[in-house]
Amino acid sequence: MQQRSKDTRNHIIESAVALFCDAGYEAASVADICIRAGVSKGAFYHHFPSKQSLFLAILDDWLTGIDDQLFSSATPSGDVPASIQDMAETLGFVLNEASGRLPIFMEFMVQASRDHAVWDAAIQPYRRYQDRFAGLIASGQESGSINENVDPRIAARVLVSLAVGILLQAVVDPESADWDKVTSEGISMITQSMKRSS
Amino acid sequence: MQQRSKDTRNHIIESAVALFCDAGYEAASVADICIRAGVSKGAFYHHFPSKQSLFLAILDDWLTGIDDQLFSSATPSGDVPASIQDMAETLGFVLNEASGRLPIFMEFMVQASRDHAVWDAAIQPYRRYQDRFAGLIASGQESGSINENVDPRIAARVLVSLAVGILLQAVVDPESADWDKVTSEGISMITQSMKRSS
């Protein structure tokens, strides 16, 4: 893609994210997005065949970005509890970086529960997180840093649930807690209980 | 309230919950709700001054119900980690009972992030959970079942975050895990790490 074309695509995405956060996905029309982005409908449809495809592109960009940031530092052969703890720091970073755009995270959830195409697009990366965490925990059991009684799939779901719950509350009630600290303490509680008792 | 009037109110609430789940809060009009419930607009406005007040009534009923169920069995003077573990069972029960109606849980979150009146109505019971959990953990520290190094407010937020994250994923991807088991294991990991080391 040409740089100018890329810039236009990114600009449409940014405008749409802002609009979806303010007005909601359902209420925002392609025309509204074009006005906000200052682009013609022709330019819009050159990049995205529909509002839904734009929505899915935002979702995909976001999940891929989190994925890359989270797992880039994981070292399966090393101290897995410490790796998972490091990921908690990254989650805090993701959270701060995305803070203004987080209402759209809930839009994804709502649309996914209602629209099969969104569900399908959201569920694959989500299940990939679960699998990657489960794989990391299983490798920790092999290398001896994680207790062998832990069920990697269940433990992975516990970790992701905690992260999802924190993200959601940080959106709805950002002022009520130091969410970075809740993340770090919560992950620490879970990794402590997974550690091999020596 | 007369029994018949109560029945009508409950019937309007049930119809609205079903409609909000299917079509979304924004898309569902008072007229749609009346058609679904088979009541006149007069009957509707006798019970609820607006769609928003109905929405808030649903939220309040739901949160009060969860509150009663969760804390009815808590015994602050006894074994607090065991009490919290019992709550995990109750959460599984709440989850199963509410499974079909859970998409509305996300509607509340989305509306709360956008509408100050909804936010205000949602945030009070939510903060009350946090406070009740924090109080329970602090009483466990006094009676010696919880480690005194634990920060009750942070630990309460970790517990609620886990519960919220599980609820959300159980809505979006019910088939991908035994969510009762994830709840019970997750709470167990956290309570284990809060126990007083003897």
8 Å CB contact of B154 and A26: no
pLDDT category of residue B33 using cuts at 50, 70 and 90? very high
Amino acid (1-letter code) at residue B6:
K
Contacts 24+ apart (CB under 8 A), B74-80: B74/B132, B74/B136, B76/B135, B76/B136, B76/B139, B76/B140, B76/B143, B77/B139, B77/B143, B78/B143, B78/B145, B79/B145, B80/B136, B80/B137, B80/B139, B80/B140, B80/B143, B80/B145, B80/B146
8 Å CB contact of B166 and A165: yes
The per-residue pLDDT of chain B, averaged, comes to 86
- Closest Cβ–Cβ partner in A106, A165, A189 for B106: A106
Are B135 and B186 in contact by the 8 Å Cβ rule? The answer is no
8 Å CB contact of B182 and A190: no
pLDDT category of residue B41 using cuts at 50, 70 and 90? very high
- Closest Cβ–Cβ partner in B26, B163, B189 for A193: B189
Three-class secondary structure of residue B35 per DSSP? helix
Name the one residue in this structure whose structure tokens are 């005194």. B148
Segment of A166-175, B72-81, B160-169 carrying the highest mean pLDDT: B160-169
Residue B156, pLDDT score: 95
B contacts of A123 (beta carbons < 8 Å)? 172-173, 176
Residue A173, pLDDT score: 82
pLDDT category of residue B102 using cuts at 50, 70 and 90? low
Residue A77, pLDDT score: 65
* Helical H segments across chain A, by residue range: 3-23, 30-37, 41-47, 51-71, 80-98, 103-112, 116-143, 152-172, 179-194
- Closest Cβ–Cβ partner in B107, B161, B192 for A165: B161
Residue A92, pLDDT score: 76
The stretches in chain A having pLDDT less than 50 are none
The alpha-carbon gap from A142 to the nearest alpha carbon of chain B, in Å, equals: 21
Residue B40, pLDDT score: 96
Amino acid (1-letter code) at residue B83:
S
Element (H, E) at B110: helix B103-112
Between these two residues, B154 and A118, which has the higher pLDDT value? B154
Residue B67, pLDDT score: 78
Instruction: Give me the mean pLDDT over the B31-39 stretch.
Output: 96
pLDDT category of residue B34 using cuts at 50, 70 and 90? very high
A contacts of B122 (beta carbons < 8 Å)? 172
The alpha-carbon gap from A5 to the nearest alpha carbon of chain B, in Å, equals: 33
Specify the range with the lowest mean pLDDT, choosing from A180-189, B71-80, B129-138. Answer: B71-80
CA distance A148 to A167: 30
Between these two residues, A115 and B18, which has the higher pLDDT value? B18
8 Å CB contact of A154 and B192: no
Residue B139, pLDDT score: 92
Are B164 and A165 in contact by the 8 Å Cβ rule? The answer is yes
pTM (2 d.p.)? 0.84
Please tell me which residue of chain B has the smallest CA distance to A183: B158
Please tell me which residue of chain B has the smallest CA distance to A192: B193
Instruction: Give me the mean pLDDT over the B186-198 stretch.
Output: 86
Q: Which whole-number Å values give the CA distances from A111 to A2, A40, A106, A107, B102, in the listed order? A: 32, 26, 8, 6, 13
At A150-170, the pLDDT tens digits run 999 999 999 999 988 888 888
Give me Rg for the CA atoms of chain B: 19
